[in-house]
Amino acid sequence: MARKFFVGGNWKCNGTTEEVKKIVTTLNEAKVPGEDVVEVVVSPPFVFLPFVKSLLRPDFHVAAQNCWVRKGGAYTGEVSAEMLVNLSIPWVIIGHSERRQLLNESNEFVGDKVAYALAQGLKVIACIGETLEQRESGTTMAVVAEQTKAIAAKIPSWNDVVLAYEPVWAIGTGKVATPAQAQEVHADLRKWIHSNVSAEVASSVRIIYGGSVNGGNCKELAAQPDVDGFLVGGASLKPEFIDIINSATVKKN
């Protein structure tokens, strides 16, 4: 079955009310392929989620950038999956490398978070990826397989999961994995899922690429057979995000 192209925009810890209005206006006025061709999800900081949701065109959706690993309660500063469901936020990003590195989120913790979010009815963009040191020592596949395994072990179904491969060395650095490097890891991940989850999940799960994706490199990356879309950082705050969404048409041709 054809996997629908997926483009996520991770705004990270950026934006003021005015800037957010401007970004949403640009998105709302954009000419992009229909929902049958591409699924678009933008992820503003928590404080702007309801605001963005209220202004955003109906064919685009919103995602939170994180949520807590269990039911809410005495967890100061955290946001629970239940709160996101209550606000009708359909998606959440979990396990982004910035959280793995800066906040020491372990593979197991990320797996638990993904499972809990799914159990509450959220859809999850689950992030994996290796550091430069790991890439240079030749352990890329071992690292991403271990990260994927920790998620696979905890979830009953992959229907509501998009897997985002983000080489840590390419995030915000301007270094981008070559289309061949991205394709190689995506293909190996699909093989791993085929062997360790099922053939059906391997052929249907979307594996998207993140790491310095921009208007200039998106088409060549999108043309790779196992790249099913993008998780975009810095460029998602700029008008070129529209070019990245439009790269979905590469798959149709």
Closest to 77 (Cα-Cα) out of 68, 64, 90 = 68
Token code pair at residue 110: 């990320």
If you search the block for the tokens 């799914």, which residue do you land on? Answer: 118
The gap from C-alpha 34 to its chain's centroid, in whole angstroms, comes to: 20
At position 124, the amino acid (one-letter code) is V
| List of residues 6+ apart from 169 with CB closer than 8 A | 130, 131, 132, 135, 175, 211
Tens-level pLDDT at each residue, the chain (253 residues): 589 999 999 999 999 999 999 999 999 999 999 999 999 999 999 999 999 999 999 999 999 999 999 999 999 999 999 999 999 999 999 999 999 999 999 999 999 999 999 999 999 999 999 999 999 999 999 999 999 999 999 999 999 999 999 999 888 778 888 999 999 999 999 999 999 999 999 999 999 999 889 999 999 999 999 999 999 999 999 999 999 999 999 987 6
Between strands 60-64 and 91-94, the pairing is parallel
d(CA 229, CA 225): 11
The residues that are catalytic are 96, 166
Find residue 165's DSSP bridge partners: 128, 209
